[in-house]
Structure 1
């Protein structure tokens, strides 16, 4: 009974807002507001509100919701265990992983750039920091080294 009263009040308020909007010559918006405000009364008249109220306060309905939750939890638990088990025991999973690694040829992952004419790159020694501070020529030494490396 209270749900029907609330729905009727909401619809009446919505129709009032629609009338004010139409008075301001915003007819498209007013029509849209009127359409939305008629929905609660339509739900009351079709019995949907009464059905929802009966289900919301029904202990049987809430037990059913609880059982659905438990069912979902059981499905997710079994799925998680199934994924974690995977190929069987831990030794089998490690063996399968090692077999997949060995299946790829070692040279397949190395890029083939042809024969190199330049000597192998030597690691650069670390530069000692000067106690007096860096001068302007020292700032560009990295850039010069890169340009020399590329032959520029």
Structure 2
């Protein structure tokens, strides 16, 4: 009975505040206050206040056990170890140190051979400098520094004027 009285008093107070906000032409704030004001009455009428009290009691009992029961501390340590192992394996897996089902590939000696740049057909008025540059790119072979893949990108950017 007392719970119902408190719930409806809280609802009435919230509706009064919402009315004040609406009187001052703050309709968005008034709507929020009205929505929150309806919660205590709704919780009481649906019977959720006893459920909330039961949940509160269980959380309080767990907190008391947390402080005084060594089993709970052992459980917390096990959870921490589990989380640490999961994070560690994720970190090691991202670094590439662990491969699943196959051995790690050995790195090749020296830089990787570059792909020759494939140049599109030159337009009619192509200058001598461009032709010499394309010939120089095509002439680069295995002595390249491994950046031959970027030659295609450079050529595209150059054609676009970037």
Query: TM bucket by the smaller chain?
Result: 0.3 to 0.5
Q: Normalization by structure 1: what TM-score?
A: 0.43
Which of the pair has more CA radius of gyration? 1
